[in-house]
Amino acid sequence: MSNLNKLDFKALEVSGRNYLKWIQDVKLHLTAKGIRTTIKALTDDKPVNKAHKANAMIFIQKYIHDALQTEYLAEENPHTFWLALAHRFDHQKDIYLPEARHDWQYLRFQDFKSVNEYNSEVCKIRSLLKFCKVELIESDLLEKTYSTFCHQYCPATTI
Query: Quick check: 43 pLDDT over 70?
Result: no
- The pLDDT value recorded for residue 1 is 46
Identify whether the C-beta of residue 29 lies closer than 8 Å to the C-beta of residue 99.
no
Q: Which residue, among 47, 8, 37, has the nearest Cα to 25 in the 3D structure?
A: 8
Q: Which residue, among 10, 14, 11, has the nearest Cα to 71 in the 3D structure?
A: 14
CA distances in angstroms from 140 to 28, 49, 68, 126, 152, listed in the order given: 32, 49, 41, 10, 18
- The pLDDT value recorded for residue 149 is 66
The string of DSSP codes covering 72-134 is TTT---HHHHHHHHHHHHTTHHHHHHHHHHHHHHT--GGGSSSHHHHHHHHHHHHHHHHHTT-
SS3 string, 39-84, reads HCCCCCCCCCCHHHHHHHHHHHHHCECHHHHHHCCCCCCHHHHHHH
- The pLDDT value recorded for residue 116 is 92
Identify whether the C-beta of residue 129 lies closer than 8 Å to the C-beta of residue 136.
yes
Query: Quick check: 7 pLDDT over 70?
Result: no
CA–CA separation, 103 and 159 (whole Å): 17
pLDDT (tens digit per residue) in 79-109: 999 999 999 988 877 888 899 999 999 998 8
